[in-house]
Homo-oligomer: A and B are copies of this chain.
């Protein structure tokens, strides 16, 4: 057995998320089917740094898996790419120690969220951005982003129904890239972990702050009230990208 760590990119549009589900098209399902072909029917289970939801994209998702055989990493990459549909790409790969686990060894992640601005949805961006048709004040958003950096209880920003009790996470960086403004802005969050839907709920809240519908320091209040109902909106999956995953 050889343990592989591989970085993949995918356009999440067609997929019912990363995680395997019976009868549904998922990223994990497609990759495990390809591995099954390569091993001639010996099932290989892949482990990802974390799940991504239906419609969410990845530019740097990391997976690991034990393969029955010792194929050089570059050949493994080529073989898998030759079996992938055009919306999943193996970007990099290496052989790693037997105890490496793409999920449990993660130390931090970067997510990006692209927001298309303007009255109408751009036909060419509809699958790759969220759309916000209202006015935003970038200064208010930049002020609010400072309230996100640090260690906070993100209970108000976690989709209900999760099994994880501890909702404290540390965000190292929270910034907005305005290179494409006024057509588009991109949020970027680097943190030690993200709760289910946390980035999409934070983005919807930031846009409300930018529009003046919420107090500029509403994040501080939301950390205190610990109430998902008060954050209210979730930005659409189409704008979210798992950008990078860090390991020791």
Contacts and interface: CB of A to CB of B under 8 A. Distances in A.
Interface of A: 9-11, 57, 81, 86-89, 120-124, 126, 128
A57 B124 contact: yes
10 contacts: A9-B124, A11-B124, A11-B126, A57-B124, A86-B126, A87-B123, A89-B120, A89-B121, A89-B122, A124-B128
Contacts of A128: 124
Contact of A81 (B81, B120, B122): B120
Contacts of A87: 123, 126
A9, A57, A86, A124, most chain B CB atoms within 10 A: A124
A88, A121, A128, most chain B CB atoms within 10 A: A121
A180 to B, nearest CB: 15
A233 to B, nearest CB: 19
A130 to B, nearest CB: 12
A86 B121 contact: yes
B81 A123 contact: no
Nearest to A126: B86
Contacts of A11: 123-124, 126
Contacts of A120: 81, 89
Contacts of A121: 86, 89
Contacts of A57: 124
A11 B13 CA distance: 15
A10 B120 CA distance: 13
State the 9 A-B residue pairs at the shortest beta-carbon distance, nearest first: A11-B123, A86-B126, A87-B123, A86-B121, A89-B123, A9-B123, A11-B124, A89-B120, A10-B123
